[in-house]
């Protein structure tokens, strides 16, 4: 009988995870079926029962359930513990082990541009589990300063307080999203950890914030239909871009290895993304 792996989240019918993991399991000749568990908060007990069942290797977890995943795990690694959020639950000997491969992936990709990131300030947009992962990743490359921004003052303040803990010694400023207009000078990295653009391609989380040549834009959103408004502006401005598909692949490699105990077939997983999107995922890409 085939084993199972899941993606747990809400509104996940668009996800690229099923083709990515299906291609990976097929490439390694593993009899594992990848399924979506689209559940609301009150249904999470059902989701936990499914991933603890015999024959399950674990689950990826996406918004808005990443904080729940860290609480549901029997054990979390140091990254998930620091973030208070997990996007991976791997089942080993009946125990759920939580990891934050989002944070690991962002840190890995930012390390490829560490000199540019550390030379300026980072603008982090969002206040959910992905934004917290971004803060942890920034602690690995240490920008000159961080501007944290969200729609609500309370959320922005909470993220700023967490930034002081996760990235000690770095100057942290706050700004509401509708206050961002370019006066926050010295930004070299823009990290969007909101879902803006996911459902409406025209939605831009930073409509009044200028993007300049040489900026780095890391947008956790991807669309099957094409670039978001933010991603299109980044490429038009001559910035380097990581899009959500590039990020999803980077965090999927360690997740596959946690599920199976074997090295990820990276080329098969990349080809699966290209087959669905009809384009390469952006990994510090330029127009």
Q: Which helix (H) or strand (E) holds 233?
A: helix 229-237
CB distance 102 to 130 below 8 Å: yes
Q: Say how many domains are in the chain.
A: 2
Do 233 and 109 reside in the same domain of the chain?
yes
pLDDT tens per residue across span 175-204? 998 888 777 779 999 999 998 778 878 889
Is 263 found in the same domain as 187? Answer: no
What is the C-alpha separation between 34 and 130, in angstroms, rounded? 23
CATH number for the domain spanning 135: value is: 3.40.50.720
- Residue 201 is predicted with a pLDDT of 81
- For residue 84, what are the contacts with CB-CB under 8 A and spacing of at least 6? 67, 70, 132
Q: Give yes or no: residues 158 and 197 share one domain.
A: yes
Same domain, 145 and 236: yes
* pLDDT at res. 181: 78
Q: What is the pLDDT of residues 89-146, one digit of tens each?
A: 998 888 999 999 999 999 999 999 999 999 999 999 999 889 999 999 999 999 999 9
What are the residues facing 190 on neighbouring strands? 123, 217
- Same domain? For 158 and 220 the reply is yes
Same domain, yes or no: 230 and 207:
yes
Q: What is the pLDDT of residue 196?
A: 78
Residue 135 located in a structural domain: yes
Residue 179 is predicted with a pLDDT of 86
β-pairing verdict for 240-242 and 283-285: antiparallel
Give me the domain span that covers residue 117.
104-245
Is residue 270 domain-resident? yes
Q: 15 and 108 in one domain?
A: no
Res 266: pLDDT: 98
CATH number for the domain including 259? 3.40.50.10860
Q: Are residues 187 and 83 part of one domain?
A: no
Q: For residue 20, give the H/E element and its range.
A: helix 17-27
Give yes or no: 46 in active site. Answer: no
To the nearest 5 percent, what fractions of the chain are helix, strand and coil?
40, 25, 35
- 114 and 238 both lie in a single domain: yes
Q: Residue 159: which pLDDT band, with cuts at 50, 70 and 90?
A: very high
> Is 287 a domain residue?
no
Interatomic CA distance for residues 164 and 220, integer angstroms = 23
Is residue 76, in this structure, part of any structural domain at all? yes
> What are 7-55's pLDDT values in tens digits?
999 999 989 999 999 999 999 999 999 999 999 999 999 999 999 999 9
Mean pLDDT of 248-272: 97
CB 74 within 8 A of CB 99: no
Checking if the pLDDT of 216 tops 90, the result is yes
91 with 121, same domain?
no
In a domain, residue 120? The reply is yes
Mean model confidence pLDDT for the chain: 93
> Which run of H or E residues covers position 232?
helix 229-237
Which of 193, 236, 194, 228 shows the shortest CA–CA distance to 212?
236
Q: Please state the rounded mean pLDDT for residues 76-91.
A: 94
Is residue 286 assigned to a domain? Answer: no
In a domain, 256, yes or no: yes
How confident is the model at residue 225, as a pLDDT?
85
231 with 268, same domain: the answer is no
The H or E element that residue 121 is part of is: strand 121-125
Residues 221 and 185 grouped into a single domain: yes
> What is residue 271's predicted lDDT score, i.e. its pLDDT?
97
**Which residue in 4, 41, 46, 66 is the catalytic one?**
66
């Amino acid at each position: 009988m085939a084993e199972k792996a899941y993606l747990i989240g809400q509104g996940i019918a668009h996800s690229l995870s099923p083709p990515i993991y299906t291609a990976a399991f097929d490439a390694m000749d593993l009899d594992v079926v990848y399924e979506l568990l689209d559940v609301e908060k009150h249904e999470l007990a059902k989701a936990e029962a499914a991933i603890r069942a015999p024959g399950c290797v674990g689950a990826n977890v996406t918004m808005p359930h990443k904080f729940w995943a860290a609480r549901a795990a029997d054990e979390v690694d140091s990254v998930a513990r620091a973030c208070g959020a997990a996007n991976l639950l791997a089942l080993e000997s009946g125990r759920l082990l939580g990891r934050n491969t989002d944070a690991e992936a962002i840190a890995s990709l930012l390390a490829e541009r560490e000199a540019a990131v550390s030379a300026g300030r980072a603008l982090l947009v969002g206040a959910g589990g992905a934004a917290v992962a971004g803060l942890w990743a920034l602690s690995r490359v240490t920008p000159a300063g961080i501007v944290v921004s969200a729609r609500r003052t309370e959320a922005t303040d909470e993220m700023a307080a967490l930034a002081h803990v996760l990235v000690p010694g770095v100057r942290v400023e706050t700004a509401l999203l509708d206050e961002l207009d370019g006066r926050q000078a010295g930004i070299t990295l823009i990290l969007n950890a909101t879902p803006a653009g996911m459902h409406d391609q025209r939605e831009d989380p930073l409509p009044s914030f200028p993007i300049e040549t040489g900026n780095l834009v890391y947008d956790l959103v991807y669309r099957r239909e094409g670039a978001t408004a933010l991603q299109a502006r980044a490429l038009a401005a001559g910035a380097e871009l990581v899009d959500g598909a590039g990020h999803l692949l980077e965090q999927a490699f360690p997740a596959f290895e946690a599920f199976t105990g074997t090295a990820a077939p990276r080329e098969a997983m990349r080809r699966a993304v290209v087959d669905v999107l009809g384009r390469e995922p952006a990994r510090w890409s330029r127009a």
